[in-house]
Structure 1
Amino acid sequence: MITFFDIPSTLPANAWSLNTWRIRFTLNYKRIPYKTEWVEYPDIAAVLKKHGIGPTDENRDGTTYYSVPAILDVDDTTGEVKAALADSIPIAEYLEKVYPATPRVFPEDEEGLEEQKAFRVLREMVPIFTIMCKATLPVLNEASRDHFSKARAMDLYELYEVDRLEDVPYGEEEKRVLWRDLEVCFGKLDEKVAKTDGAGVWFKGDRITFADFVIGGVLIWMRTILGENSEEWARVSPWNGGRWGRFLEGLKDYETVI
């Protein structure tokens, strides 16, 4: 059985993180049985170390950085640990290899695989990071808020030079500019997807690939945190001819939170 490590929230669905949703979508799409272990931000390093799951990066001070998504795959009969992995691409590659009878999410050809592995959204959508991190902070459990505030402020330091998310300027004028810029970013993403999707909905047309789960992670993060019936989400879903509302609707069967 696979144990999938994710970050909880105060929201009814609990799941919210764009990064972990990439793997939740993958597991659900492949219909691989799993269970979720919810881990607050300050506990991630200790929990992953306990299970032999290594770091994924280094902090600016040179210390090791532990992150989710992460999985622990244990044989139900023998108790043998088959895999202890973190980071979405290595996890998705493992699931492709070890569960070959399930629907693939990566192309068979090397060029297509590299394209999927290199696909990024947030690097080209800087405004979403400020908007959504500010919106996410209040819905986290108290145990995670301080950690999230400091960590995301560090990510945004070159823009704002503050140590906590609460200190990022976010008045009405800042919101207006960020949302305007975000619409431009989605327009560029729309152009990128339209070049490859043919007549289909997805990044590669009629077939879902991992890139769609990357995009879907961003969209479900926005819809979950902002609220499906919110004015903000009602602004986003019709952009680019309604592509993004249709996109998430197409992933609806894979939104199960176990």
Structure 2
Amino acid sequence: MSHSVITLYDINSTITQPWAPNIWRIRFILNYKRLPHRTVWVELNEVEQTLRMIGAPPVGQKPDGRAVYTLPVIVDTLRSKSNPVVLSNVCTIAEYLEATYPARPICPEGSRAVQALFVHYIQEIFIKPLLPILIPLTHQRLPERTQAHLRRGGPVATPPPAAMGSYQHEQAWVAVKEQFNFLASILDKNNSDGNGVVAMGRDVSYADFALCSVLIWIERVSPHDCWARIREWNGGRWRRLHNRCREYMDVY
């Protein structure tokens, strides 16, 4: 593309629409701030090679000392085509976009600490009971060559996730429901926007994008099972939040 844009690197899969929640958090911000951007799709087994090639910084280190490369990554040429900014790590990218492009802020004034705490809860606590349910479903939707790469022990080495027994599966759903109920009880303290559909009570913010990114993962990976079950919980709150954020779901 001849004009300057922000390039967002995302995971290729057999699903027609993107699903990865951390990457969706960044896509939400780009859409909300109306920043021109495009998506480059990368096979999971080619992530490290691609990110090394574009000069993206690693996000950590393995026990053997090898660098860890993960998505999302952005390349920002909006401010300078000759000296692009290349960033990794979802939190680093979000902070950069908010600081560099302050119009239409995702964190209302005075709310950064509360927003950071909410997002930390979503990614470290809220999402954990969902992982044994969603990771096997997600694995099935990766291209076969990517699944084979993981079976051989690729950079994100994991064997194919084992299917849970029926009792384990139901116990996992009990834990998921507890987290959704707890979060609903907190959001119920807001009354100015449909009984607290959004975290700040009235306008969407970064907290909502972090939460809705998880809802999109559920919807895209298991629309007729997991999403059909969850979307009407707590009086349809999660369906309404998904709908509230829909205008920022464009994929370019």
Band of TM-score, shorter chain: 0.7 to 0.9
Distance in 2 between the 1:152 and 1:239 partners? 37
Structure 1 stretches of 5 or more lacking a match?
155-162
**Is the helix fraction higher in 1 or 2?**
1
Q: 2:62 aligns to what?
A: 59
Q: Which amino acid aligns with 1:252?
A: R
Distance change >3 Å, CA 178–CA 139, structure 1 → 2 = same
Residues 1:44 and 2:47 aligned together: yes
Distance in 2 between the 1:241 and 1:41 partners? 37
Q: 2:112 aligns to what?
A: 113
- 1:143 deviates by 3.1
Task: Give secondary structure in 2 for the equivalent of 1:72.
Answer: strand
- 1:39 deviates by 0.9
Residues 1:124 and 2:125 aligned together: yes
Q: 1:91 aligns to what?
A: 93
Distance in 2 between the 1:85 and 1:244 partners? 31
Q: 1:158 aligns to what?
A: none
Distance change >3 Å, CA 29–CA 108, structure 1 → 2 = same
TM-score, reference length from structure 2: 0.87
Distance in 2 between the 1:37 and 1:88 partners? 16
Instruction: Kindly tell me the number of residue pairs found equivalent between the two proteins.
Output: 241
Distance in 1 between the 2:150 and 2:61 partners? 17
Distance change >3 Å, CA 93–CA 141, structure 1 → 2 = same
Q: 2:38 aligns to what?
A: 35
Cα contact 1:70–1:87 (8 A) shared by 2: yes
Cα contact 1:74–1:81 (8 A) shared by 2: yes
Distance in 2 between the 1:236 and 1:60 partners? 38
Distance in 2 between the 1:7 and 1:139 partners? 11
Residues 1:24 and 2:51 aligned together: no
- 1:40 deviates by 1.4
Residues 223-238 of structure 1 correspond to what in structure 2 (within 5 A)? 223-227=219-223, 230-238=224-232
CA RMSD of aligned residues (A): 2.2
Distance in 1 between the 2:182 and 2:19 partners? 24
Distance in 2 between the 1:4 and 1:29 partners? 15
Q: 1:133 aligns to what?
A: 135
Aligned-residue sequence identity (percent) comes to 32
Structure 2 stretches of 5 or more lacking a match?
none
